[in-house]
Chain A
Amino acid sequence: SQTIHQWPATLVQPVGSPLSLECTVEGTSNPNLYWYRQAAGRGLQLLFYSVGIGQISSEVPQNLSASRPQDRQFILSSKKLLLSDSGFYLCAWDRVNSPLHFGNGTRLTVT
């Protein structure tokens, strides 16, 4: 069966520090991969999605970037975190005509 791993679960980082969140998917090949951010009490905001290695689409211009170095690996990065980057980050995958499957998220607090 397919599983999605996302780490770390929680992260506290100072303003101006770099960020790297990693997501990997097992049990499927060539998935579509997504990064979402969820602010407290809000819905999900799509940040990036990828349909293949090296193919990244950005939905919201911001302080973050994404990379897909391998078929089932998706990385969310920042060179310098801002206070406004705090939030709950969720990785997800899907295949054509299937629903989204989410990881358990990373709670990021920028101090």
Chain B
Amino acid sequence: SQQGEEDPQALSIQEGENATMNCSYKTSINNLQWYRQNSGRGLVHLILIRSNEREKHSGRLRVTLDTSKKSSSLLITASRAADTASYFCATDVGFGNEKLTFGTGTRLTIIP
């Protein structure tokens, strides 16, 4: 099964609201990364959080990591229509990106 599992699989919210996506994983990690994928395009790296970090911010993005629960969350504040995309978490167990394991993603739709 996937190392990373996102929840929910799909999320629709009104523009301006906050969106929260969760990622759970099974084994110890070196870092966890979040990527965004617009429909029919490649993935874009959003943020990386290391195993010794608990929270990280980048603009309207806030990522938390709870290694005791083996889970992470991605919060997008003040959502915009342009945030409509799929969001994937990816876990690095310490061997570099060649061993990065991607989850199945959360499909986020922002309703104008």
Contact = CB atoms under 8 A, between A and B. Distances in A.
Interface of A: 6, 32, 34, 41-44, 46, 49, 57, 90, 92, 94, 96, 99-105, 107
A43 B103 contact: yes
Interface residues of B, number: 21
Interface of B: 2, 4, 33, 35, 40-45, 48, 88, 96-98, 100-105
A60 to B, nearest CB: 13
Q: Is the interface of A mostly helix, strand, loop or mixed?
A: strand
Given A32-B98, A34-B98, A43-B2, A99 B41 contact: no
B46 to A, nearest CB: 9
Given A42-B104, A43-B105, A99 B42 contact: no
B40 A99 contact: no
Contacts of B100: 46, 100
